[in-house]
């Protein structure tokens, strides 16, 4: 019996087909979760049933007694706790709040598998731009099966895409440097307010240049880390419907209003710096 229940291995010379589906920033609704988990469960059950047939076991109780392994696994990580399930017998209410990583895998017969990973906790811009941290891998011996699963999952995921977040996460580095330029103009405005005689044309001593360089470098580093942390907190890469804590959802609207006001003020500040003297001369000439 033990020999019959060993995991099936594909022939060494078998041809493999693999497709990788990039997962965009999405809302994981209950319907989407059920459909994706159902696809993984179906694949895992196909393998388990094949092994049952080989072992000539048809009774579920006997299957449990013989400890036939489960070929599906679902892992959920959050800042407060982690859980893992080996069957699809779980609901959203069983998951910890504020998930920041989901990993799921199902193995089927003949070496087929579906491997899913999405995360919304990033240390730096390299991780934000690394699409391999949010992807689904479909691999198998049959290209038709691989392509069919790929298209099915893509059709399920695309309608749940967050359009604005897709743009922000996809262009995070460009948006950071744009924001950094606005920050530098704001710092210059503050410097002029604190020291009215300060100008960009004023020469700096060696110490002054070193201090200025240190301030700019520190502000950019702090700004980058703060920008990633705050945006991911309020607008995570993925959201499971009903899983975000109330404090995050309640403060999101206020955050959006505040960010809009800050960026509007920063843009006005830049325009005033660039075109203010020209407008003043034009008005004065009249």
pLDDT per residue as tens digits for the range 67-96: 667 899 999 999 999 999 998 889 889 999
**Per-residue tokens: 90:** 């779980």
Q: How far apart are CA 110 and CA 145, in angstroms?
A: 12
| Cα 56 from Cα 52, distance rounded (Å) | 6
* C-alpha R_g of the chain: 27
82, β-bridge pairs: 77
CB hemisphere CA count around 183 (13 angstroms): 17
Whether the predicted pLDDT of 121 surpasses 60: yes
Q: How many CB atoms lie within 10 A of CB 51?
A: 21
Rounded to two decimals, the pTM is: 0.77
Q: Locate the domains of the chain by residue range.
A: 17-162, 168-285
Residue 17: strand, helix, or coil:
strand
Average pLDDT over residues 12-24: 83
- What pLDDT shows up at residue 1? 38
């Amino acid at each position: 019996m033990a020999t019959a229940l060993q995991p099936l291995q594909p022939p060494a010379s078998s041809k493999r087909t693999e497709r990788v589906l990039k997962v965009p920033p999405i809302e994981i609704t209950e319907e989407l979760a059920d459909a994706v988990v159902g696809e993984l469960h179906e694949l895992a059950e196909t393998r388990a049933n094949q092994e049952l047939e080989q072992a000539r076991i048809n009774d579920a109780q006997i299957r449990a007694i013989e400890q036939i392994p489960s070929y599906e696994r679902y892992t959920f990580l959050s800042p407060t706790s982690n859980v893992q399930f080996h069957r699809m017998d779980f609901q959203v209410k069983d998951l910890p709040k504020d998930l920041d990583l989901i990993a799921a895998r199902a193995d089927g017969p003949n070496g087929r598998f579906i491997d899913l990973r999405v995360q919304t906790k990033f240390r730096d811009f390299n991780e934000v731009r690394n699409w391999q941290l949010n992807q689904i891998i479909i691999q198998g011996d049959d290209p038709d099966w691989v392509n069919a699963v790929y298209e099915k999952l893509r059709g399920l995921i695309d309608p749940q895409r967050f359009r604005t977040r897709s743009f922000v996460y996809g262009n995070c580095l460009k948006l950071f440097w744009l924001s950094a330029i606005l920050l530098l103009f704001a710092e210059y405005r503050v410097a002029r307010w604190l020291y009215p005689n300060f100008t960009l044309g004023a020469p700096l001593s060696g110490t002054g240049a070193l201090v200025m360089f240190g301030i700019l470098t520190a502000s950019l580093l702090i700004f980058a880390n703060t920008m990633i942390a705050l945006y991911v907190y309020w607008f995570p890469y993925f959201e499971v419907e009903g899983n975000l804590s109330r404090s995050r959802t309640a403060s999101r609207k206020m955050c959006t209003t505040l960010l809009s006001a800050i960026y509007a003020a920063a843009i006005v500040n830049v325009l005033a710096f660039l075109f203010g003297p020209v407008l003043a001369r034009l008005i004065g000439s009249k």
